[in-house]
Amino acid sequence: MTEKKTQSQLQDERFRMVQDQIVRRGIHDKNVLEVLRKIQRHLFLPESLWAEAYDDNPLSIGWNQTISQPYIVALMTELLKLGPSDRVLEIGTGSGYQTAVLADIASEVFTVEVLEALQQTAKSRLQELGYRNIAFRLGDGHQGWPEEAPFDKIMVTAAAGEHVPKALTEQLKEGGILVIPVGQFNQMLIVGVKHHGSLETTETIPVRFVPLV
């Protein structure tokens, strides 16, 4: 049996997570490190998983979906080069943890989720936590959010088959940055910068995400 952890134990684990999993692996964006120390990741999980909330791996959030590994959240956020004036589109709200990270740094976040149950839970959680700069949409992220485009930054937290969905490139501002896992079995985390209407992409690291449906 595991004992229930206290708030101060969870905070210690959170600080240790940032040091051991994130700083040590080379993430240095100060905003990213600060928000990962601040946001109570365990609150984005069922209480039965709180003891594992700061472990170095993804965790199940039901409906065959996962909350990403903390390092991957940090890396994808750093790759976006987020600033306080950015309007960000996120595809795959999931638990809402990555959404909170984005919303703490950027000016506005527009997040799209296809599964209603996950969206409802994430939405009420983020509203209870006091976030007022997040807009939620239920639907297929391949279409983006045309009414709110263009976006300074786009983050996709489920894997696209072989290509970046066309609507997402279209909805990115010129000079904007998009981060997305691409591939069926062997996925690669891709960073794209939009120049003259098309994406110039760079491969970063191999990753494993659930596929976009």
Q: Is 105 in the site for ligand SAH (CB under 6 A)?
A: no
Residues 192-211 that bind ligand SAH (CB under 6 A): 210
Q: CB 172 → ligand SAH: shortest distance, Å?
A: 17
Give the CA dihedral 73, 41, 134, 140, nearest 10 degrees: 60
Q: Does 126 bind ligand SAH (CB under 6 A)?
A: no
Find the part of the chain contacting ligand SAH (CB under 6 A) among 61-69, 171-179, 181-189, 194-202: 61-69
For ligand SAH, the binding residues in 76-95 under the rule CB under 6 A are: 91-92, 94-95
Is 198 annotated in the active site? no
- Given 48, 60, 68, 95, the catalytic residue: 68
Pairing of strands 108-113, 134-138: parallel
Q: What are phi and psi of 118, to 5 degrees?
A: -65, -40
Q: How far apart are CA 199 and CA 177, in angstroms?
A: 9
Q: Per-residue contact track with ligand SAH, 26 to 45, x per CB under 6 A?
A: --------------------
Does the footprint of ligand SAH cover residue 114 (CB under 6 A)?
Answer: yes
Nearest one of 107, 114, 83, 103 to 39, comparing CA atoms: 103
Q: Which of 37, 125, 142, 208 binds ligand SAH (CB under 6 A)?
A: 142
Among 158, 168, 179, 191, binds ligand SAH (CB under 6 A): 158
171 binds ligand SAH per the rule CB under 6 A: no
Residue among 91, 83, 93 at smallest CA distance from 44: 93
Q: Which two tokens stand for residue 146?
A: 């045309």
Token digits of residue 204? 């970063």
Q: Are 77 and 105 in contact (CB under 8 A)?
A: yes
Of 21, 77, 98, 121, the one binding ligand SAH by CB under 6 A: 98
Residue 141 as a binder of ligand SAH (CB under 6 A): the answer is yes
Smallest CA-to-CA distance from 73 within 35, 19, 30 is with 35
Q: Does 212 bind ligand SAH (CB under 6 A)?
A: yes
Kindly state the tokens that stand for 166: 């066309």
Two tokens, residue 68: 């990403």
Residues marked as catalytic: 68
Q: Which stretches of the chain bind ligand SAH, using CB under 6 A?
A: 65-68, 91-92, 94-95, 97-98, 112-115, 118, 140-142, 157-158, 210, 212-213
